[in-house]
Amino acid sequence: MSNQRVSRSFKDISLSFVPHPVTRDLTILRNENAIVRSVRNLIETILKERFFNLNLGSNVRSNLFEFVDYGTAANIQSEIVITIENYEPRVSNLKVEVDPRPDENSFEVNIFFDIVGLSVPRQTVNFILEATR
């Protein structure tokens, strides 16, 4: 018999810090929205940026100043996979696609995953990574 994790609900505050129009409290992200935001935050966090957990984060930003080609896209893809597998235990069946866009000097990132313990559809996170000066 396999051990299937059954989870409770997940909560996180919204980083927009926009207050709720009625209660004036901070907006709360729940369940799949909280996990999707957590995955994105992990990827965007630079290593040694968090004072009390210097290993949390990824080297994705340092790869953005390399050539925009499939080799760099593979490096970014493996960095994203390693980061999510190490720091987000609520995610399973992870698939990451990184497509270079040389004309725009950016990378298109698509992340697909299932959430452990929640019966929700497969989640998708899409965003563009580009070097900022």
Q: Is the pLDDT of residue 29 over 80?
A: no
The confidence score (pLDDT) of residue 22 equals: 78
Instruction: With beta carbons less than 8 A apart as the criterion, state whether 14 and 29 touch.
Output: yes
Whether this model's pTM surpasses 0.85: no
Q: Is the pLDDT of residue 96 over 60?
A: yes
Spell out a b/e string for 76-107, using b for 16 or more CB atoms within 10 Å of the CB, else e.
Answer: bbebbeebbeebbebbeeeebebebeeeeebb
58 or 17, higher pLDDT: 58
Residue 3 and residue 5: Cα distance in Å, rounded?
A: 6
Give the model confidence (pLDDT) of 7-18 as tens digits.
566 666 666 667
Tokens in use for 57?
């984060």
| pLDDT tier for residue 78 given thresholds of 50, 70 and 90 | very high
Return the CATH class of domain 11-130: alpha beta
Residue 91, helix vs strand vs coil? strand
pLDDT exceeds cutoff 60 at 4: no
Question: Across the chain, how many H-helices and E-strands are there?
Answer: 3, 5
Q: Any idea which of 41-45, 68-72, 106-110 has the lowest mean pLDDT?
A: 41-45
Which pLDDT value is given to residue 111?
95
Identify the pLDDT of residue 79: 93
Q: Where are the domains of the chain?
A: 11-130
- Which region among 7-11, 20-24, 76-80, 120-124 has the lowest average model confidence (pLDDT)? 7-11
